[in-house]
Amino acid sequence: MKRNIRLLIEYDGGRYRGWQKQGKNADADTIQGRLEQVLSRMTGEDVQLIGSGRTDAGVHALGQVANFHTDCGMSCGEIRDYLTRYLPADIGILKVSDAGERFHSRLNAAEKTYCYRIAVPGVPHVFDRKYLWHFPEPLDMKKMEQAADFLTGRHDFKGFSSIKRTKKSTVRELYAIDIEKKEKEILISFTGNGFLHNMVRILTGTLVEIGCGRKQPEDVLTVLQTKDRQDAGMTAPPQGLFLVSVKY
Amino acid sequence: MKRNIRLLIEYDGGRYRGWQKQGKNADADTIQGRLEQVLSRMTGEDVQLIGSGRTDAGVHALGQVANFHTDCGMSCGEIRDYLTRYLPADIGILKVSDAGERFHSRLNAAEKTYCYRIAVPGVPHVFDRKYLWHFPEPLDMKKMEQAADFLTGRHDFKGFSSIKRTKKSTVRELYAIDIEKKEKEILISFTGNGFLHNMVRILTGTLVEIGCGRKQPEDVLTVLQTKDRQDAGMTAPPQGLFLVSVKY
């Protein structure tokens, strides 16, 4: 029986076309492609890596989870050392472990947390400038928190996604949206049982439009009702978004 | 009488040829050149910026100090906002203040602190990978600390500099060298009344060669005695070095 190896991965998505492999010839452009390249060379097998979910082009991860099946006899420590040696410096392996036979990174994911970083305008961000949304206007925290309260809970989030048509359910549960004002940035954390395509970025863009007064907190209730993408706010840019953790 | 404006500056030196302007036509390549460009446009004057000292190509600053004389009537807040708007994102203005008439960033500097960051090998540094020296061997902290003790104090540091010939004194006083082992990095801080060209990088390179066993702690005593650059260790790469603060 093959081993089932679980990886905990962090990456700077800045120069990649996202997590998901785009095709046989574009391996180096995606995080999954890069990892499969190195894993296949390491094992001598054609490794298929299963991620907990996709991240868009330019989006980062502090705790992406993925798994793959292999006959490779290396210890977890040896696998980790091999990957650390041969992966580019913008992809890091935080943990390697043997998972149960039936573990599946995507299907078994029970809870995910994302965070989104927004720079306070006028304050320099020299060393983390590539990991923030530099939105130029001040934001009203109270209004954003009010909208966040409306969004928390079990809803059909179709209007907050870029999904056009689907037979699958677009109902998700948001357990918490925390908005924290720090000295130099506003940090928004989203925890839920799952997220639709672009959902965190559209939620963030909508919260920011509410924060700067272009929209009202109640407008999110309209989006939940009409389920129309047009009623929601802009899609926040990718570089401020981090997949923080996945729970099983 | 002209105003004397003092700036507190942070920068990512990664894409610059260092602090010091190289010539009239290379303004955009150096931190000083970039700043003078924007300051001259702002004031309509030919601004000459005095820095507390040079930093090499690729070296960063968390607290560089500089000053310039001007007839400009803008408030310090307005100057700060103007600079923040027109400077590139890798140069940040932390503070603008009116200094006394006789204040001179370089001549009045009484104490400087630099720090040097060395990555612990095998540990991923995805988001700060460009701000560390990725030295591949483990380092013996005790030996490095022993050498640091020998180096602390008032000495002729000529052997730890890239100065070939000079009539000026190469005696400096190092008040403290602190070596701190963190989870993912070793941080070496140097505080002294002044530093010779490349001195922090050569001290760091020498400490690292001692830490990995290629040299012995006592070897630094030889360098202090012979004053010969050949007897010291390698010059550590620029990207791990930060000018932390300047005291007056």
* Shortest Cα distance, chain A CAs vs residue B207, angstroms: 25
Domain match, B240 and B120 both: yes
* Residues of chain A positioned with their CB less than 8 A from the CB of B122: 81, 84
Domain match, B70 and B122 both: no
* Shortest Cα distance, chain B CAs vs residue A91, angstroms: 6
Give CA separation, B183 vs A8, B119, B121, in Å.
Answer: 18, 10, 11
How far apart are the C-alpha atoms of A191 and A171, rounded to whole Å? Answer: 15
* Residues of chain A positioned with their CB less than 8 A from the CB of B128: 127
B103 domain-assigned: no
* Residues of chain B positioned with their CB less than 8 A from the CB of A64: none
Q: Which residues of A are annotated as a binding site?
A: 114
pLDDT in tens, B190-206: 999 999 999 999 999 99
A15 domain-assigned: yes
Using a CB–CB cutoff of 8 Å, tell me whether B129 touches chain A.
yes
* Residues of chain A positioned with their CB less than 8 A from the CB of B92: 124-126
**Options A56, A81, A98, A219, the catalytic residue:** A56
Q: Which of A72, A98, A124 is the last residue of a domain?
A: A98
Q: Which amino acid makes up residue A24?
A: K
- Residue B29 per-residue DSSP state: G
Over 60: is that where the pLDDT of B32 sits? yes
Looking up residue B243, the CATH number of its domain turns out to be 3.30.70.660
Domain match, A55 and A125 both: no
Looking up residue B74, the CATH number of its domain turns out to be 3.30.70.580
A39 domain-assigned: yes
Domain match, A117 and A174 both: yes
Torsion over CA: A202, A208, A213, A217 (sign): positive
Closest residue by Cα to residue B64 from B16, B24, B2: B16
How far apart are the C-alpha atoms of B31 and B20, rounded to whole Å? Answer: 7
Domain match, A92 and A21 both: yes
How far apart are the C-alpha atoms of B143 and B217, rounded to whole Å? Answer: 6
**CB within 8 Å: B122 and A84:** yes
> Considering CB atoms only, which of A92, A127, A134 is closest to B12?
A127
How far apart are the C-alpha atoms of A146 and A6, rounded to whole Å? Answer: 39
How far apart are the C-alpha atoms of A127 and B130, rounded to whole Å? Answer: 10
Angle formed at CA B189 by CA B183 and CA B195, multiple of 5 degrees:
155
A93 domain-assigned: yes
A82 domain-assigned: yes
Domain match, B122 and B196 both: yes
**CB within 8 Å: B10 and A131:** no
> Considering CB atoms only, which of A84, A90, A93 is closest to B129?
A90
Q: Checking DSSP bridges between strand B3-11 and strand B91-98, what pairing results, if any?
A: antiparallel
Using a CB–CB cutoff of 8 Å, tell me whether A185 touches chain B.
no
Closest residue by Cα to residue B36 from B44, B27, A130: B27
* Residues of chain A positioned with their CB less than 8 A from the CB of B12: 126-127
In a 13 Å sphere around the CA of B238, the CA atoms on its Cβ side amount to 18
pLDDT in tens, A113-161: 999 999 999 899 999 999 999 999 999 999 999 999 999 999 999 999 9
Q: Which of B61, B77, B98 is the last residue of a domain?
A: B98
DSSP string for residues in B66-120: EEEEE-----HHHHHHHHHHHS-TTEEEEEEEEPPTT--TTTT--EEEEEEEEEP
- Residue B203 per-residue DSSP state: H
A103 domain-assigned: no
Q: What is the pLDDT of residue A178?
A: 98
Q: How far from chain centre, in Å, is Cα B84?
A: 22
- Residue B164 per-residue DSSP state: -
Provide the residue range defining the domain that includes A191: 111-247
A104 domain-assigned: no
pLDDT in tens, A162-220: 988 778 999 999 999 999 999 999 999 999 999 999 999 999 999 999 999 999 999 99
**CB within 8 Å: B11 and A126:** yes
Contact criterion met (CB below 8 Å) for B196 and B172: yes
Domain match, B81 and B149 both: no
Domain match, B115 and B94 both: no
Domain match, B131 and B86 both: no
The residues of B carrying an active-site annotation are: 56
How far apart are the C-alpha atoms of A29 and A15, rounded to whole Å? Answer: 8
How far apart are the C-alpha atoms of A174 and A194, rounded to whole Å? Answer: 8
Q: Which of B53, B69, B98 is the last residue of a domain?
A: B98
Strand partners, A181: A186
Over 80: is that where the pLDDT of B25 sits? no
Query: How is chain B split among helix, strand and coil, in percent rounded to 5?
Result: 30, 30, 40
Domain match, A45 and A123 both: no
Sequence-ordered alpha helix ranges (H) in chain B? 31-43, 76-86, 141-151, 199-211, 219-226
Coil, helix or strand for B185? strand
Strand partners, B114: B190, B243
Give CA separation, B175 vs B117, B156, B192, in Å.
Answer: 19, 14, 5
Over 80: is that where the pLDDT of A26 sits? no
* Shortest Cα distance, chain B CAs vs residue A80, angstroms: 9
Using a CB–CB cutoff of 8 Å, tell me whether B133 touches chain A.
no
Strand partners, A113: A191, A245
Domain match, B137 and B235 both: yes
Strand partners, A241: A116
Report how many domains make up chain A. 2
Mean pLDDT over B209-229 rounds to: 97
Domain match, A85 and A176 both: no
Using a CB–CB cutoff of 8 Å, tell me whether B185 touches chain A.
no
How far apart are the C-alpha atoms of B60 and B238, rounded to whole Å? Answer: 8
Chain A interface mutation, best of B79, B120, B126, highest count of A Cβ atoms under 10 Å:
B126
**CB within 8 Å: A131 and B126:** no
pLDDT in tens, B81-122: 999 999 999 999 999 999 999 999 999 999 999 999 999 998
A105 domain-assigned: no
Burial of B176 (0-12, 13-18, 19+ CB in 10 A): exposed
Over 80: is that where the pLDDT of A24 sits? no
Mean pLDDT over B134-159 rounds to: 97
